[in-house]
Amino acid sequence: MKNFQRIAVVSVIVALSSQINIGFLGTDFRVSGGIILLSILLFLYKDLKPILMGIVSGIAVYLLRMLLYYLGNGNINDVLWSFQLEILFYTFYGAIYYLLNRKNIKEDINRLLLIMIISDFFSNIIEVLVRIKVGVSQFNWEIITTLFFVAIVRSSLVWFVLNGLKYYKMLLLKEEHEKRYRRLLWLTAQLKTEMYWMEKNMDNIEKVMSNSYGLFEKIKLDEDKEDWADRAVTIARDVHEIKKEYELAIRGMREITENKLQDEGMNFREIMNILYETMKREIIHKKKNIELHFEVGDNFYTSKHYYLMSIFRNLIMNGIDSAIDSKKQCEIRFIHVVENGQHVFVIADTGVGIEEKNLTHIFTPGFSTKINYATGEINRGLGLSVVKDIVENHLGGKVTVSSEEDKGTTFRICIPRDSLEV
Residues 284 and 252 in one domain: no
Which pLDDT belongs to residue 67? 85
- Confidence at residue 222, expressed as pLDDT on a 0 to 100 scale: 85
10 Å Cβ neighbour count for 78?
11
Is 60 within the bounds of a domain?
yes
User: Domain range spanning residue 401?
Assistant: 266-420
By the 8 A CB rule, do 96 and 114 touch? no
Q: What are phi and psi of 108, to 5 degrees?
A: -95, 85
Query: What pLDDT score was predicted for residue 149?
Result: 85
- Among 260, 287, 318, the domain-final residue is 260
The count of domains in the chain is: 3
Question: Are 405 and 285 within one domain?
Answer: yes
For residue 150, tell me if it sits in a domain.
no
Closest to 248 in 3D by CA, of 208, 193, 206: 193
**pTM of whole model > 0.85?**
no
* 83 within some domain: yes
**Residue-by-residue DSSP string for 281-310:** HHHHHTT--EEEEEE--S--EES-HHHHHH
**Shared domain check, 352 and 287:** yes
Position 334 scores a pLDDT of 95
Please tell me whether residues 354 and 396 are part of one structural domain. yes
**pLDDT at res. 391:** 92
Query: Is 201 part of a structural domain of the chain?
Result: yes
The pLDDT value recorded for residue 267 is 86
| 100 within 8 A of 39, measured Cβ to Cβ | no
Q: CA of 370: how far to CAs of 352, 373, 382, 400, in Å?
A: 12, 9, 12, 20
User: Could you say which residues of the chain have pLDDT below 50?
Assistant: 25-26, 28, 371-381
3-state secondary structure of 398: strand
| 199 and 303 together in one domain | no
Task: Report the pLDDT value the prediction gives residue 415, as an integer from 0 to 100.
Answer: 95
Final residue in a domain of this structure, among 260, 287, 320: 260
The residue among 196, 230, 260 that closes a domain is: 260
Residues 219 and 272 reside in one and the same domain: no
Measured CA to CA, the distance from residue 73 to residue 417 in angstroms comes to 52
Sort 5 into a burial class: Cβ within 10 Å, 0-12 / 13-18 / 19+. Answer: exposed
Whether 233 and 188 map to the same domain: the answer is yes
Task: For residues 311 and 415, state if they share a domain.
Answer: yes
Q: Please indicate, yes or no, whether residues 291 and 386 belong to a single structural domain of this protein.
A: yes
- Name the percent of the chain in helix, strand, coil, to the closest 5: 65, 15, 25
- Tell me how far apart the alpha carbons of residues 353 and 118 are, in angstroms, rounded to a whole number: 50
Same domain, 410 and 300: yes
Whether 168 maps to a domain, the answer reads no
Residue 181 has a pLDDT of 65
pLDDT at 377: 42
Q: How high is the pLDDT of residue 349?
A: 92
Q: Which tens digits make up the pLDDT trace of 5-26?
A: 888 888 888 888 888 766 554 4
Please, what is the Cα angle at 192 between 371 and 244, to 5 degrees? 85
- Is the separation of the CB atoms in 21 and 33 below 8 Å? yes
